C-alpha cells in the first residue's frame, strides 16, 4: 500500500522570488521540490495586487534591474511570461522650479547635464566608466558562496587564496577604487565627481535605499554600486518595469519552477522546522500537518529562520547572538495612488516622455540628510525622499482606461517609530508624501482617487520581513559577504544538517536579484542532497 505522506527531496519555506528561484533550480536538477507559501499567492514582496477595483499595483517592490541575467536565461523566464519594459529617464524637480533630467539617450543626457554644469557633463562618462568597472569587479562575487576567513578547512583556505588571486589580478588601482567605494559615504564619493546638487542627490539616493543611514554616512557608497549592477550585461537601461507589475516576475519564476516539476502550495503557513537528532527532517505546518523533506530551505529572513522557525535550542549560542545583533531597521515605505489624471509637474508641464520614467524627489544632498535627521530620532521624514513611477504609462493594463497608478517609494519611515506605528501615523506619512509631492505637481491632490500607504510595520505584518527591511537585513559592510547573515554561516548552510537558507538575508543581498536563491540551490546540489 502507498503511504499517504509524500517525501520531498527539498521543502522550500516561503514563495518569495528567492525561494522560487531556488526551487526552480532544484527542480531543474531533477529534485522533487515543494514550495510552501503562507499567503494566498506567491511572490513575497514581489507581487501585483488589484488594490482598488481596476487599479493594479506592485504593492511592495516596483522595479526590476538587479534580477540576475543568468537566472533569466537558465529558467527561460521570457518564455514563462516575463517581459521587462525599460524606464527611459529620471526626472528630479528642483525647489526653484527648474529640473534635472537624466535620459538613457547618451547625447540627450549630456546636453541636459551641460545645462547645469559643463564640468559635470564632462565627468559623467568617466564616472560611468569607473562604476561600470567596479560593478564588473564585484560581479563574479555575486555568484560565489563567500569563503569563511576564520576557517582552517583546506577547501576554505583554497577559496580564500582564489579570492586573493582575484583581487591581485584586479590590479592595485581598481582594488583601491573598490576599497574607497566600500568605505566612503556616497555624498563624499560623489563630491569627488560632481558639483550639481540635484545630480549628486539623485545619485546618492540609491546609496541610502533600504538602510537607516544618511548620504553622509560612510558605507553608503557601496549601495550605489549595488544598484549600478543593474546596468550590466549589455543592457544599458536595465532599470525596467515588469509588464503586469512585479508580481509577474514571481509568476514567471513560479511557472518555470512548476514546468520543471516543482509543487507550490499557497495558503500554507509553516510553524517550524522539524528537527530530529540535529538534522532537519521536514516542516510542521501551522495546521499541525508534518511534511517530510530530505532538505529544508528557508527563504525567510535570518531572524525568522533561526529564532522562530528553528528555535534557539537547536543552535549554538554564538549564532543566536549574531542573529540577534543582525540589523534590520526598516526605513522604507510605499505609497500607492490611484489617479484620475496624470500629475502635471510645474517644472515640465504636460504629458511628456518624463512621465514614462522615474521621478525622484531629491533636490539636494542636504534635503536627503534632513530627511534622515528626522528618522534617526524615530520620526517620519517631514520632507521625505521619494522615487516615483507611473506604471500605467508603460503598461496600460495596470489601470482603467484614462486613469493611472502611481507607485511612490518613500524614505525615511523608520520601523522603530516613536510611539509605534498607528493608523494615524500611517495617514500622517501618506499626507507628508502627498503634500511634498503636490509642491512639484499641484494638481496631484485633486487627482487622487484612492490611496494605499504601506509602512515598514505593514511590510513586516503582510510579507513577513522582519522590521520591514526590504533587503532582509541592512546592506552595510558589517553585514555583507562572509558576515551575511553570520560569520561561518554565510554559505547558505546552517548548524542544523539539512537546513539551508536562500533569502536575501544571505550573500549577496536584496533587490529582486535572485542570486541568493540561485547560489543556495547550487550549495544544496553541491552538498549532494
471, 270 Cβ separation under 8 angstroms: no
Instruction: Give the separation between CA 375 and CA 215, rounded to whole angstroms.
Output: 13
436, 93 Cβ separation under 8 angstroms: no
Closer to another protein by CB, 218 or 340: give it: 218
- What is the closest distance, in whole angstroms, from the C-beta atom of residue 484 to another protein in the complex? 11
- What is the closest distance, in whole angstroms, from the C-beta atom of residue 299 to another protein in the complex? 25
Closer to another protein by CB, 183 or 443: give it: 183
Q: Which grid cell sits at 421?
A: 506605528
Closer to another protein by CB, 37 or 467: give it: 467
- What is the closest distance, in whole angstroms, from the C-beta atom of residue 488 to another protein in the complex? 8
- What is the closest distance, in whole angstroms, from the C-beta atom of residue 150 to another protein in the complex? 4
- What is the closest distance, in whole angstroms, from the C-beta atom of residue 73 to another protein in the complex? 33
- What is the closest distance, in whole angstroms, from the C-beta atom of residue 180 to another protein in the complex? 5
Instruction: Give the separation between CA 213 and CA 372, rounded to whole angstroms.
Output: 7
361, 436 Cβ separation under 8 angstroms: yes
For residue 426, the number of C-alpha atoms closer than 13 Å in the C-beta half-sphere is 15
Which residues sit at the interface with another protein, rule CB under 8 A?
A: 149-150, 160, 164, 167-168, 172, 175-176, 179-180, 182-185, 188, 191-192, 213, 216-220, 325, 327, 366, 369, 373, 376-377, 476-478, 482-483, 487
- What is the closest distance, in whole angstroms, from the C-beta atom of residue 17 to another protein in the complex? 28
For residue 528, the number of C-alpha atoms closer than 13 Å in the C-beta half-sphere is 1
Closer to another protein by CB, 407 or 466: give it: 466
- What is the closest distance, in whole angstroms, from the C-beta atom of residue 370 to another protein in the complex? 8
Instruction: Give the separation between CA 111 and CA 137, rounded to whole angstroms.
Output: 30
- What is the closest distance, in whole angstroms, from the C-beta atom of residue 491 to another protein in the complex? 15
Query: Residue 309, SS3?
Result: helix
Closer to another protein by CB, 356 or 376: give it: 376
Closer to another protein by CB, 286 or 366: give it: 366
Pairing verdict, β 499-501 and 33-36: unpaired
Q: Which grid cell sits at 373?
A: 535627521
Instruction: Give the separation between CA 221 and CA 225, rounded to whole angstroms.
Output: 7
Which of 427, 354, 426 has the alpha carbon at shortest distance from 393? 354
Instruction: Give the separation between CA 53 and CA 400, rounded to whole angstroms.
Output: 9
Closer to another protein by CB, 175 or 522: give it: 175
- What is the closest distance, in whole angstroms, from the C-beta atom of residue 223 to another protein in the complex? 11
- What is the closest distance, in whole angstroms, from the C-beta atom of residue 145 to another protein in the complex? 17
Question: Cα separations (Å) of 192 from 108, 116, 118, 227, 365?
Answer: 24, 17, 15, 19, 14
- What is the closest distance, in whole angstroms, from the C-beta atom of residue 118 to another protein in the complex? 18
Long-range contacts of 314-321 (CB under 8 A, 24+ apart): 314/275, 314/278, 314/495, 314/496, 315/495, 315/496, 316/495, 319/486, 319/489, 319/495
Closer to another protein by CB, 178 or 496: give it: 178
Closer to another protein by CB, 217 or 246: give it: 217
Instruction: Give the separation between CA 410 and CA 406, rounded to whole angstroms.
Output: 12
Closer to another protein by CB, 189 or 440: give it: 189
Which of 317, 143, 125 has the alpha carbon at shortest distance from 233? 143
For residue 323, the number of C-alpha atoms closer than 13 Å in the C-beta half-sphere is 24
392, 404 Cβ separation under 8 angstroms: yes
Q: DSSP letter for 257, please.
A: H
93, 364 Cβ separation under 8 angstroms: no
437, 418 Cβ separation under 8 angstroms: no
Instruction: Give the separation between CA 343 and CA 350, rounded to whole angstroms.
Output: 8
Closer to another protein by CB, 88 or 148: give it: 148
Whether cis (ω within 30° of 0) applies to the bond prior to 412 is yes
Closer to another protein by CB, 75 or 134: give it: 134
Amino acid at each position: 500500500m502507498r503511504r499517504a505522506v509524500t517525501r520531498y527531496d527539498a521543502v522550500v519555506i516561503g514563495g518569495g522570488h528567492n525561494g522560487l528561484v531556488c526551487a526552480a533550480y532544484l527542480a531543474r536538477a531533477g529534485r522533487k521540490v515543494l514550495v510552501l507559501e503562507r499567503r494566498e499567492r506567491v511572490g513575497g514582496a514581489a507581487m501585483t495586487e488589484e488594490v482598488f477595483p481596476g487599479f493594479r499595483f506592485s504593492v511592495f517592490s516596483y522595479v526590476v534591474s538587479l534580477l540576475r541575467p543568468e537566472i533569466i536565461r537558465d529558467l527561460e523566464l521570457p518564455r514563462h511570461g516575463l517581459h521587462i519594459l525599460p524606464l527611459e529617464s529620471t526626472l528630479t524637480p528642483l525647489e526653484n522650479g527648474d529640473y534635472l533630467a537624466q535620459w538613457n539617450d547618451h547625447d540627450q543626457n549630456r546636453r541636459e547635464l551641460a545645462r547645469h554644469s559643463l564640468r559635470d557633463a564632462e565627468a559623467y562618462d568617466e564616472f560611468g566608466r569607473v562604476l561600470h568597472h567596479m560593478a564588473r569587479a564585484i560581479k563574479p562575487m555575486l555568484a560565489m558562496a563567500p569563503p569563511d576567513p576564520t576557517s582552517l578547512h583546506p577547501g576554505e583556505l583554497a577559496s580564500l587564496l582564489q579570492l586573493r588571486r582575484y583581487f591581485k589580478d584586479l590590479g592595485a588601482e581598481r582594488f583601491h577604487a573598490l576599497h574607497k567605494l566600500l568605505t566612503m559615504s556616497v555624498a563624499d564619493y560623489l563630491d569627488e565627481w560632481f558639483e550639481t546638487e540635484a545630480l549628486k542627490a539623485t545619485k546618492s539616493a540609491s546609496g541610502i535605499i533600504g538602510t537607516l543611514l544618511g548620504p553622509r554616512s560612510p558605507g553608503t557608497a557601496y549601495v550605489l554600486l549595488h544598484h549600478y549592477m543593474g546596468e550590466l550585461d549589455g543592457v544599458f537601461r536595465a532599470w525596467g518595469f515588469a509588464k503586469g507589475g512585479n508580481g509577474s516576475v514571481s509568476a514567471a519564476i513560479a511557472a518555470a519552477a512548476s514546468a520543471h516539476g516543482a509543487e507550490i502550495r499557497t495558503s500554507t503557513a509553516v510553524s517550524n522546522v522539524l528537527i530530529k537528532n540535529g538534522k532537519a527532517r521536514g516542516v510542521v505546518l501551522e495546521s499541525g500537518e508534518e511534511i517530510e523533506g530530505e532538505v529544508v530551505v528557508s527563504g525567510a529572513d535570518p531572524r525568522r529562520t533561526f529564532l522562530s522557525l528553528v528555535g534557539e535550542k537547536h543552535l549554538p549560542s554564538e549564532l543566536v547572538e549574531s542573529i540577534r545583533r543582525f540589523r534590520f531597521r526598516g526605513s522604507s515605505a510605499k505609497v500607492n495612488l490611484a489617479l484620475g489624471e496624470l500629475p502635471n509637474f510645474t517644472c515640465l508641464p504636460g504629458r511628456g516622455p518624463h512621465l514614462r520614467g522615474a521621478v525622484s524627489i531629491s533636490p539636494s544632498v542636504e534635503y536627503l540628510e534632513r530627511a534622515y535627521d528626522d528618522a534617526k530620532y524615530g520620526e517620519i521624514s517631514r520632507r521625505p525622499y521619494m522615487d516615483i513611477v507611473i506604471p500605467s504609462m508603460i503598461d496600460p493594463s495596470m489601470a482603467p482606461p484614462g486613469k493611472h497608478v502611481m507607485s511612490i517609494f518613500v524614505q525615511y519611515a523608520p520601523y522603530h517609530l516613536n510611539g509605534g506605528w498607528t493608523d494615524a501615523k500611517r495617514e500622517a506619512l501618506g499626507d507628508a508624501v502627498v503634500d511634498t509631492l503636490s509642491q512639484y505637481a499641484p494638481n496631484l491632490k485633486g487627482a487622487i482617487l484612492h490611496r494605499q500607504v504601506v509602512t515598514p510595520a505593514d511590510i513586516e505584518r503582510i510579507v513577513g520581513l522582519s522590521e520591514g527591511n526590504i533587503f532582509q537585513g541592512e546592506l552595510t559592510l558589517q553585514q555583507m559577504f562572509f558576515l551575511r547573515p553570520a560569520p561561518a554561516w554565510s554559505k547558505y548552510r546552517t548548524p542544523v544538517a539539512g537546513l539551508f537558507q536562500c533569502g536575501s538575508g544571505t550573500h549577496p543581498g536584496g533587490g529582486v536579484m535572485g542570486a541568493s536563491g540561485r547560489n543556495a540551490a547550487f550549495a544544496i546540489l553541491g552538498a549532494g542532497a
